Amino acid sequence: MSILVGRDTRLLVQGITGREGAFHAQQMQAYGTNIVAGVTPGKGGQTALDGSVPVFDSCWRAIQETQADTSVIYVPAAGAPDAILEAVGAGIRTIFCITEHIPALDMLRVMPVVEAAGARLIGPNCPGATSPGRAKVGIIPGSIHREGNVGLVSRSGTLTYEVVLALTEAGIGQSTCVGIGGDPVIGSTFIDILELFRDDPETEALVLMGEIGGNAEESAARWKAEHLRDTPMVAFIAGRTAPPGRRMGHAGAIISGGSGSAADKIAALEGAGIRVADAPSEIPRLLMEAGVRPA
């Protein structure tokens, strides 16, 4: 099995006629993802991906015509919040928002609507998710994956790529790899994704890629200790040398108010029985020491 995306995913690409949307839609389709529709207001009736995918003016029309059940958003920041709301209003229940630089106040307006609808939002400012050999939604390179039983969840896109490649080169395959995004206001937390992995019978071990700022990693550590006590898990925390008060890359990666430091997060993770790597390259070795075997 897999989580979030798989062979039965019917994907709608919002912003499919834009430069980023068109490029990544081609990559997703080439990987095997079932893209059934695109949406660009004003371009309904056209086609994309060499004529294989119809383009609609609205999500509602796209869903009526194609039964799309998942959306990925490549709409610029000014329009992305409304694109999320449109997808939710049309009935989509799994939404990936790749767009970065969305103001936090805009997301505070969006999130109550998403939650009230019972929808699941991944992102914004996330790389998406890949279930190797099944489907990929977003911008994670498909070639770095290998099918297997290790689930990965990360706040960082580039660290996701680095660790996935290290796992693959070590012969350790992945069930699903999910980037949740590094903004202060995001749709899905570490715990949300860990709950999905807990219920996936093919996921037998976990990797968590965190970073300074906030308390998401500490919360995930407590949840893991209570609900996934016997599942091997390895983590990494980026930003160990960041000085307090300085943002490092992601808008959410800032130490303030005496909390959010790498030391606090590492202590919480280790206290929950999670081994913490000093470098991403150590993760395959730590997994194997925890009992994970290469395929």
The residue range of the domain holding 73 is 11-122
Residue 230, C-beta contacts closer than 8 angstroms, at least 6 positions apart: none
- 103 with 229, same domain? no
Strand ranges, E, within 27-173: 35-39, 47-48, 53-56, 70-73, 94-97, 120-122, 128-131, 135-138, 147-154
**Token match 């925890």: residue?**
290
Q: Are residues 285 and 187 in the same domain?
A: yes
Dihedral (CA of 128, 131, 137, 138) sign? positive
The C-alpha atoms of residue 71 and residue 117 are separated, in whole angstroms, by: 15
pLDDT at residue 242, rounded to an integer: 58
- pLDDT tens, 209-226? 998 888 899 999 999 999
Q: Which of 122, 149, 171 is the last residue of a domain?
A: 122
In-domain check, residue 153: yes
State the chain's mean pLDDT as an integer.
93
Place of tokens 């490549």: 74
Distance CA 192, CA 187 (A): 9
**Shared-domain flag, residues 17 and 102:** yes
User: Using one digit for the tens of pLDDT, what is the confidence trace for 71-110?
Assistant: 999 999 999 999 999 999 999 999 999 999 999 999 999 9
Catalytic hit among 24, 145, 227, 250 = 250
Q: How confident is the model at residue 253 (pLDDT cuts 50, 70, 90)?
A: very low
Output the domain CATH number for residue 105.
3.40.50.720
d(Cα 74, Cα 15) in Å, to the nearest integer?
A: 5
What is the pLDDT averaged over residues 25-44?
Answer: 98
The answer to whether residues 144 and 223 belong to one domain is yes
Cβ atoms 283, 174 nearer than 8 A: no
Clarify whether residues 40 and 112 are in a common domain: yes
**Domain shared by 144 and 282, yes or no:** yes
Catalytic-residue membership of 101:
no
What percentage of the chain reaches a pLDDT higher than 90? 85
Instruction: Report yes or no on whether pTM surpasses 0.85.
Output: yes
Closest CA to 268 of 234, 226, 221, 229: 221
Mapping DSSP onto H, E and C, the string for 179-214 reads: ECCCCCCCCCCHHHHHHHHHCCCCCCEEEEEEECCC
The pLDDT assigned to 66 comes to 98
Phi, psi for 244 (deg, rounded to 5): -55, 140
- The tokens describing 192, both together, are 């949300």
Asked which of 66-75, 156-165, 246-255 is least confident by mean pLDDT, the reply is 246-255
The rounded distance, in Å, linking the Cα atoms of 107 and 186 is: 8
Number of domains in the chain: 2
And the tokens for 58?
A: 């609205």
Q: Is residue 3 part of a domain?
A: no
Same-domain pairing of 162 and 85: no
CB 196 within 8 A of CB 170: no
pLDDT of residue 33: 98
Same domain, 108 and 33: yes
Q: What is the CATH number of the domain that holds 195?
A: 3.40.50.261
Residue 101 CA to residue 142 CA, distance in Å, equals 25
Clarify whether residues 146 and 283 are in a common domain. Answer: yes
- Same domain assignment for residues 111 and 196: no
As a whole number of angstroms, the distance between CA 216 and CA 67 comes to 35
> Which domain-ending residue is among 78, 94, 122?
122
